[in-house]
């Protein structure tokens, strides 16, 4: 009986050891641990500049060398106190994000490129991080896109209302395609867009991108661009 109990205990211990080794292998592969993959700022405004910090930890048995941090766009800059992390060591990655003229749900990604592994078998890995926010624009407009039926003349409106700016003006409106005529309403609340199907050449359906362009008094997004679709 005791032999069976001893054998059972040995099997359990072996199983736990194998599982631990497998988990260690996963950690070794992941290499650079991050306290969170996404920093969500919640509500922001056009023109905001915000800062976030990510804590990076070397969870391997070998040193990690952070080679570079590559932002997706020049709206983001980053800084690190140091780039070499010994096993168990951590460092703070500081990011500065300029929101600019973004509007609505928006995000940007950073890619951390790092080298890890024993001296004779080092590899380069990448770790993505994201910044996200819901951006309230200076001026809100709806809808964000106008859709027209290919053969039917129609007139539609894009309505503008206060966002961060409580007072604003629409200065000019025009279309990038001859099939559309854009006119500012007298009360400065909307742009009327009229579609003339006779001016829409069929082979342009896949080649020409029609846009409504509206100049405003916003210092951040002084030009708003709305897609005009013909289907």
Band of the pLDDT at 218, cuts 50, 70, 90?
A: very high
Please name the residues in contact with 168: beta carbons below 8 A apart, sequence gap of 6 or more: 138, 139, 160, 162, 216, 217, 218
Task: Tell me the per-residue pLDDT of 122-172, one tens digit each, with 9 for 90 and over.
Answer: 899 999 999 999 999 999 999 999 999 989 999 999 999 999 999 999 999
- On whether both 171 and 191 belong to a single domain, the answer is yes
Residue 56 lies in a domain: yes
Q: What is d(CA 44, CA 50) in angstroms, rounded to the nearest whole number?
A: 9
Residue 23 lies in a domain: no
Which CATH number belongs to the domain containing residue 188 in this structure? Answer: 2.60.40.10
Question: In Å, what is the CA distance from 64 to each residue of 67, 69, 85, 204?
Answer: 9, 14, 5, 53
- On whether both 41 and 113 belong to a single domain, the answer is yes
The residue from 112, 136, 160 where one domain ends is 136
Residue 7 lies in a domain: no
Residue 179 lies in a domain: yes
- On whether both 132 and 196 belong to a single domain, the answer is no
The residue from 136, 171, 191 where one domain ends is 136
As a whole number of Å, the CA-based R_g of the chain is 28
- On whether both 110 and 151 belong to a single domain, the answer is no
- On whether both 82 and 159 belong to a single domain, the answer is no
Residue 3 lies in a domain: no
- Give phi and psi for 100, each to the nearest 5: 60, -135
230, β-bridge pairs: 148
Q: What is d(CA 133, CA 151) in angstroms, rounded to the nearest whole number?
A: 40
Residue 51 lies in a domain: yes
Nearest in space to 63 (alpha carbons), one of 26, 89, 82, 81: 89
- On whether both 114 and 152 belong to a single domain, the answer is no
* Residue 171 region by backbone torsions, left for phi larger than 0, else alpha for psi between -120 and 50, else beta: alpha
Residue 157 lies in a domain: yes
Check residue 119 and give its pLDDT: 83
Residue 14 lies in a domain: no
Task: Tell me the per-residue pLDDT of 79-117, one tens digit each, with 9 for 90 and over.
Answer: 999 999 999 999 999 999 999 999 999 999 999 999 998
**Alpha helices (H) along 113-208:** none
The residue from 83, 109, 136 where one domain ends is 136
- On whether both 128 and 175 belong to a single domain, the answer is no
How many independent structural domains does the chain possess?
2
- Boundaries of domain holding 163: 139-230
Task: Tell me the per-residue pLDDT of 47-79, one tens digit each, with 9 for 90 and over.
Answer: 999 999 999 999 999 999 999 999 999 999 999
């Amino acid at each position: 009986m005791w032999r069976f109990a001893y054998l059972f205990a040995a099997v359990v211990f072996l199983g736990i050891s194998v599982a631990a080794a497998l988990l260690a292998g996963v950690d070794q592969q992941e290499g650079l641990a991050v306290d969170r993959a996404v920093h969500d700022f919640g509500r922001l405004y056009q023109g905001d500049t915000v800062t976030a910090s990510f804590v990076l930890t070397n969870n391997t048995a070998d040193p990690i060398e952070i080679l570079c941090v590559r932002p997706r766009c020049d709206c983001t800059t980053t800084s690190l106190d140091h780039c070499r992390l010994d096993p168990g060591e951590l460092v703070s990655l500081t990011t500065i994000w300029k929101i600019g003229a973004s509007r609505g749900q928006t995000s940007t990604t950073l890619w951390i490129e790092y080298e890890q592994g024993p001296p004779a078998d080092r590899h380069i890995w990448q770790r993505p991080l994201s910044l996200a926010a819901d951006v309230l624009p200076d001026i809100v407009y709806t809808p964000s896109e106008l859709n027209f039926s290919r053969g039917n003349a129609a007139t539609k409106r894009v309505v503008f209302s206060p966002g961060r700016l409580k007072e604003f003006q629409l200065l000019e409106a025009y279309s990038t395609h001859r099939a559309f005529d854009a006119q500012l309403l007298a009360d400065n609340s909307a742009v009327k867009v009229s579609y003339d199907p006779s001016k829409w050449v069929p082979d342009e359906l896949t080649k020409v991108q029609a846009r409504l362009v509206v100049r405003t008094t916003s210092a951040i997004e002084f030009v708003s661009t709305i897609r005009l679709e013909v289907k």
